[in-house]
């Protein structure tokens, strides 16, 4: 399931991220890649242990907490601290699948990467190329979003970043361990929750249809959630 989530960050938050990242040190992006991904990856990244990365990660985590669409799409249990990457002209990330397990730096815990997220920090008109291409159940999906918007998709998906041919593409990326491991079940729950939201615009919460649909959604959650 691929979901576009608009306006995760406000324009002011995007501008703040850009200012901080402009002053940050950038290193070879292969430092966080697995063996297979390292051979495919050619970009820059802010070090995981940098103060700038940690501070901006907190900005993003707060934004996720107030975003109902992210929460209904990902059903998050744990979120990996956001990372930041950069693709200058000529840089790319060939087709790969994300690592299944990620250790959280300094926390002594690991998360299962069920859902991948890319949060765009550069306006699409400021660079050419750099599309995120995701192999979805409906074919290849090419994603290039406004600054502040985010896409979430199954971490099991084969995906790549097309070469940047002009400008520079900056983004944040991270993974979520979902309360519902299976993407097919997450998709069904997402579609049900969105349908319930639409029904509630026309009917009162006390209507039997609303009550029945909400009960069915919550009972499926009880069956499928892993805590």
The domain tally of the chain equals 2
pLDDT of residue 34: 60
**Within this chain, do residues 165 and 70 fall inside the same structural domain, yes or no?**
yes
Binding residues for 2-oxoglutarate: 169
Tell me: do 68 and 156 sit in the same domain: yes
Domain that holds residue 169: 3-178
Helix/strand/coil (H/E/C) assignment for every residue in the chain:
CCEEECCCCCHHHHHHHHHHHHCCCCEEHHHHCCHHHHHHEECEECCCCCHHHHHHHHHHHHHHHCCHHHHHHHCEEEECCCEEEEEECCCEEEEECCCCEEEECCCCEEEECCEEEEEECCCHHHEEECCEEEEECCEEEEECCCCCCEEEEECCCCEEECCEEEEEEEEEEEEEEECCCCHHHHHHHHHHHHHHHHHHHHCCCCCHHHHHHHHHHHHHHHHHCCC
Does 191 lie in the same domain as 170? no
Task: Tell me: do 34 and 128 sit in the same domain.
Answer: yes
Binding residues: 96, 98, 159, 169
pLDDT at res. 35: 62
174 and 119 housed in the same domain:
yes
Shared domain for 80 and 109, answered yes or no, is: yes
**Residues 187 and 171 grouped into a single domain:** no
Claim to verify: residue 165 and residue 200 sit in the same structural domain: no
- Domain boundary pick from 178, 195, 213: 178
Residue 93: beta bridge partners?
Answer: 41, 161
Looking at residue 32, its pLDDT comes to 66
The verdict on 163 and 189 lying in the same domain is: no
What average pLDDT values come out for the chain (227 residues) when binned by 10 residues? 97 98 92 67 92 96 97 97 97 94 91 98 98 90 98 96 98 98 96 96 94 97 95
Report the distance separating Cα 132 and Cα 129, nearest Å. 9
Whole-angstrom distance, CA of residue 46 vs CA of residue 57: 11
Q: Could you tell me if 123 and 26 lie in one domain?
A: yes
> Do 148 and 215 sit in the same domain of this protein?
no
Q: Which residues are annotated as a binding site for Fe cation?
A: 96, 98, 159
Same domain for 114 and 200, yes or no, is: no
What's the CATH number where 76 sits?
2.60.120.620
């Amino acid at each position: 399931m691929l979901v576009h989530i608009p306006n995760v960050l406000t324009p002011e938050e995007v501008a703040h991220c850009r200012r901080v990242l402009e002053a940050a040190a950038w290193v070879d992006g292969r430092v966080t890649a697995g063996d297979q991904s390292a051979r495919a990856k050619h970009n820059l990244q802010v070090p995981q242990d940098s103060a700038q990365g940690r501070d901006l990660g907190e900005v993003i985590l707060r934004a996720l907490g107030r975003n109902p669409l992210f929460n209904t799409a990902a059903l998050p249990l744990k979120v990996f601290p956001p990372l930041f990457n950069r693709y200058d002209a000529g840089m790319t990330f060939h087709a790969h699948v994300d690592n299944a397990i990620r250790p959280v730096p300094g926390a002594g815990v690991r998360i299962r990467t069920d859902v991948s997220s890319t949060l765009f920090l550069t306006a699409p008109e400021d660079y050419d190329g750099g599309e995120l291409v995701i192999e979805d159940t409906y074919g290849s999906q090419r994603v290039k979003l406004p600054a502040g918007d985010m896409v979430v998709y199954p971490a099991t998906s084969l995906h790549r970043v097309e070469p940047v041919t002009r400008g520079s593409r900056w983004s944040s990326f991270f993974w979520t361990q979902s309360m519902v491991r299976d993407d097919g079940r997450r998709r069904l729950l997402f579609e049900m929750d969105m349908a319930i939201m639409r029904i509630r615009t026309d009917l009162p919460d006390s209507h039997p249809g609303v009550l029945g649909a909400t009960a069915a959604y919550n009972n499926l959650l009880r069956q499928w959630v892993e805590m």
